[in-house]
């Protein structure tokens, strides 16, 4: 399973001068590659476990992506996150209560919803001034940057930890002196980033940019402000 598009070669680039065969226990390239890929998986686990709850949960589940200002007659809606589990998609049309009060009876009937990749289609066209919230599961390991303006933050920090794990293991096992300062700095940088997430000083744009129903303004009257954007 690929994680964030990160490969063992990316880890080697972070550890300049390390050959793939040096990363294993048997001085074998195949075994070295397997060890590096294991470090990537372990790094993904480390980062996930240390994320604030909101981000950690959003790596597997989108709790209601919000669509507002919908053009009358629209039937297709494109989800922000890829590798969607089509069986998990639940659509709420003009739902207006607190999000944690929703029940399956509030949702659009399953027979009226179809999913193709990231596109969700509902059988009945949406009326003007309506809004939609779509809840779904997806594979967070697929958050792979593909364009220059994509967000590399999550990938960068998983790679940092993978390089730290690999570098620490190699230098300790080969008795090649103390852990190199730049290897240690990879973990320090990521731990600093994780602390910034906890304090709200930084974020994960690829997830922050998903507009969620639960972040929508709820006036005391109970009427939704359908023009509100997520801050």
CA–CA dist 170, 175 (Å, integer) = 8
166 versus 220: the higher-pLDDT residue is: 166
Please enumerate in sequence order all residues whose Cβ is within 8 A of that of 182, keeping only pairs 6 or more positions apart, or say none.
none
**pLDDT score recorded for residue 217:** 59
The domain segmentation of the chain, as residue ranges, is: 8-55+144-200, 62-138
In Å, how far from its chain's centre is CA 179?
31
Q: What is the pLDDT of residues 62-103, one digit of tens each?
A: 999 999 999 999 999 999 999 999 999 999 999 999 999 999
Average pLDDT, the chain: 88
- On the question of pLDDT at 4 being above 50, the answer is yes
- On the question of pLDDT at 37 being above 60, the answer is yes
pLDDT tier at 105, thresholds 50, 70, 90: very high
3-state secondary structure labels for all residues of 3-52:
ECCECHHHHHHHCCCCCHHHHCCCCCHHHHHHHHHHHHHHHHHHHHHHCC
- Answer left, alpha or beta for residue 216, where phi above 0 means left and psi between -120 and 50 means alpha: beta
**pLDDT score recorded for residue 129:** 87
Mean pLDDT of 37-66: 97
Helix (H, G, I), strand (E, B) or coil at 61: strand
Beta-strand pair 90-93/132-137: antiparallel
Mean pLDDT of 111-128: 94
pLDDT tier at 231, thresholds 50, 70, 90: very low
30 versus 174: the higher-pLDDT residue is: 30
**pLDDT score recorded for residue 113:** 97
**pLDDT score recorded for residue 177:** 55
Quick one: angle between helices 181-199 and 153-173, nearest 10? 140
Specify whether the CB–CB gap between 189 and 160 falls below 8 A: yes
Beta-strand pair 132-137/61-67: antiparallel
Q: What are phi and psi of 46, to 5 degrees?
A: -60, -50
**pLDDT score recorded for residue 174:** 59
CA–CA dist 49, 58 (Å, integer) = 13
In this prediction the pTM is: 0.86
Out of 113-122, 143-152, 193-202, 220-229, which region has the weakest mean confidence (pLDDT)?
Answer: 220-229
- On the question of pLDDT at 188 being above 60, the answer is yes
**pLDDT score recorded for residue 224:** 46
Specify whether the CB–CB gap between 14 and 160 falls below 8 A: yes
**pLDDT score recorded for residue 228:** 43
């Amino acid at each position: 399973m690929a994680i964030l598009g990160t490969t063992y070669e990316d880890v080697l680039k972070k550890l300049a001068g390390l050959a793939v065969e040096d990363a294993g226990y048997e001085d074998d390239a195949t075994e070295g590659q397997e060890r590096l890929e294991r470090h990537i998986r372990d790094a993904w686990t480390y980062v996930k476990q240390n994320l604030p709850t909101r981000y950690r949960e959003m790596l597997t589940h989108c709790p209601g992506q919000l669509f507002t200002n919908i053009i009358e007659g629209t039937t297709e809606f494109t989800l922000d996150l890829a590798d969607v589990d089509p069986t998990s998609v639940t659509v709420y049309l003009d739902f207006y209560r607190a999000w944690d009060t929703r029940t399956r009876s509030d949702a659009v009937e399953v027979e009226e919803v179809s999913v193709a990749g990231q596109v969700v289609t509902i059988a009945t066209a949406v009326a003007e001034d309506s809004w939609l919230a779509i809840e779904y599961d997806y594979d967070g390991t697929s958050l792979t940057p593909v364009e220059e303006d994509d967000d590399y933050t999550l990938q960068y920090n998983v790679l940092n930890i993978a390089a730290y794990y690999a570098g620490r293991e190699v230098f300790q096992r080969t008795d090649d002196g103390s852990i190199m300062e730049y290897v240690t700095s990879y973990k320090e940088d990521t731990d600093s980033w994780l602390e910034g997430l906890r304090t709200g000083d930084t974020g994960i744009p690829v997830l922050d940019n998903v507009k969620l129903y639960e972040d929508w303004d709820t006036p005391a009257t109970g009427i939704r402000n359908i023009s509100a954007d997520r801050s």
